[in-house]
Chains A and B, each alone.
Chain A
Amino acid sequence: MTLEERLNLVKRENEILLNMGPQHPSTHGVIRFIVRADGEIMVEALPVVGYLHRGIEKLAEQTPYTGFIPYTDRVDYLAAMFANHAYVMGVEKLLGIEVPKRAEYLRVIACELNRIASHLIALGSMAMDIGAFTPFLHGIRERELINDITEMLCGARLTYNYMRVGGVSKDIDDRIIKKINDFLDRFLPGFIDEFNRLITNNEILVKRCVNIATVSADEAINFGLVGPNLRASGVKWDLRKNMPYSVYPELKFEVPVGEGFRGEVGDSYDRFVVRVKEMEESARILKQAVSQLPEGEILAKVPKRIKPPKGEVYSAVESARGELGYYIISDGTENPYRVKIRTGSFSAMKAIHIKSQGCFIADLVVLIASMDIVAPEIDR
């Protein structure tokens, strides 16, 4: 069945078809929505994806284990550290390598910085989709400081390729630690307060988001939502707490969940506020991680040619967009036999399709932005 046949099959007489994308500023990448609307109310917004399909899973089968790490950056360009982390963790599990403590701390520092950067873009662009331009610039300004730090850390601002099998590529020095501490000093509570005054408690944003596209806890679990989207619906599930990896058990932090801050539990506003609160928690984790950073090696002893024994592994991390996992099959050669990447945005798209039914057309951008989808993560 093709797309046209699918549309002809269900279209009723008084409905209009409206095309949104693939090139549209509010779809956050190259995604197309075909909106079937009855007046102002959507019957459905049918997502059409695949415009950014690069076949990363097929590329993995033709690339050595270490050579695949730069490709993982391209899975999610706003939070590339997590894609790095999940992949190298999987290969380490296959090989049975113990990662040095210092490297684990550096990974956590890099990931949490990246989480703040990703959430800043998510929140800023959500506000921009609603019509407020300024918060986006405030978010970009802070993210620029994080980009500076990651540039000092690994030489790249966006696609990091920072992690290695068995550790990380570069060590941190006092100059970078000072920069991180300076950033944290201005970020918490200064920037968060400013951001909350500027937009989180802004009456227009609240009115646009409250009770829009409410996802209940049962629905969220069944739709396969993960990460902040799931927690906004009131499900307290965070891989960092529930299935701890790396050094997260040694760090103290809370898992913010949606409480119906202004409306129902699990509406678009809850998804917004949960992300703001997660940024605060990330800043707290960073403070502890930087102060507890142990001395030692940053790379374990790893053979030059990585040839894991036959076996399978699933390794997942809590990325900025929820669970990001790699299912890797090794057949004992230098290349993986099969790599499947499980991402948060992919499952969120189905939720958008269902939740758009019965919404106003104008609320579609709020729904898309509040789910924080990133196009390359859907298509891979």
Chain B
Amino acid sequence: MNISEVHTEVKKFFPEKISDVIASGPLSFFYFEPEIIKELFLVLRDKIGMEFKHLSYIAAVDNKECFELVYCLYSYRWGNVIHLKTRLSRENPIIKSISDLFVAAEWHEREAYDLMGIIFEEHPDLRRIMMPDDFEGHPLRKDFKEKDNYHGIPTSREKILGKF
């Protein structure tokens, strides 16, 4: 089942909440509204014929106007891979966690929270994963500015080449 077949199948369940299939270069995907994430992924995971049981990764993208989350799902039974996207507002990037449906999601969501600052509701253990606990800011955001010191340790070096 390729992306357009999945799209027509899913469209029956959520006619209003799903965009058309968009081709962006070699990759095709569709957008869904963030509020239906749980129901949508339950359908994708358990409906006979789709069975996308493997969540490969979640990528958070800073699109300047909004944040985007990219979900990649595999169906080992049918040999398919699909990509889905959702948009979150910059001011209030909150979405429901799907870690109860896919165990793999738990760490990917922690990474998205740590590096992009997206809040996952009902997540069992939403902590920073890569950066230290006391780190301020979310480094993968496009407007992230590195602080000039961390606990009194300067983060930039004196330019030695100009001196000579």
Contacts and interface: CB of A to CB of B under 8 A. Distances in A.
B62 to A, nearest CB: 8
Contacts of B79: 242-243
> Which secondary structure characterizes the binding site on chain A?
mixed
A72 interface: no
A314 B54 contact: no
Interface size class of B (residues with CB under 8 A): 35 or more
A101 to B, nearest CB: 21
Contacts of A313: 25-27
B102 interface: yes
A55 B139 contact: yes
A312 B102 contact: no
A68 interface: no
Given A49-B130, A340-B70, 16 more contacts: A1-B125, A50-B131, A93-B25, A221-B76, A223-B104, A224-B55, A224-B103, A224-B104, A243-B79, A312-B24, A314-B27, A314-B72, A340-B59, A346-B107, A347-B104, A350-B106
> Which secondary structure characterizes the binding site on chain B?
loop
Interface string B120-164: 000001111111111000011000000000000000000000000
A1 B126 contact: yes
Interface string A63-99: 0000000000000000000000000000001100000
Contacts of A330: 25
A284 interface: no
Contacts of B53: 218, 221-222
Contacts of B127: 1-3, 6
B133 A325 contact: no
Interface of B: 24-27, 29, 53-57, 59, 61-62, 70, 72, 76, 79, 81, 83, 102-104, 106-107, 115, 125-134, 139-140
Contacts of A55: 139
Contact of B107 (A311, A325, A350): A350
Contacts of A58: 139-140
Interface string A347-380: 1011000100000000000000000000000010
Contact of A379 (B24, B104, B130): B130
A224 B125 contact: no
A94 B102 contact: no
Interface residues of A, number: 42
A311 B22 CA distance: 11
A313 B25 CA distance: 7
A6 B29 CA distance: 37
A34 to B, nearest CB: 13
Given A93-B26, A311-B27, A340 B103 contact: no
A354 B125 CA distance: 13
B83 A349 contact: no
A342 interface: yes
Given A222-B53, A325-B57, A310 B70 contact: no
Nearest to B99: A350
A245 interface: no
A235 interface: yes
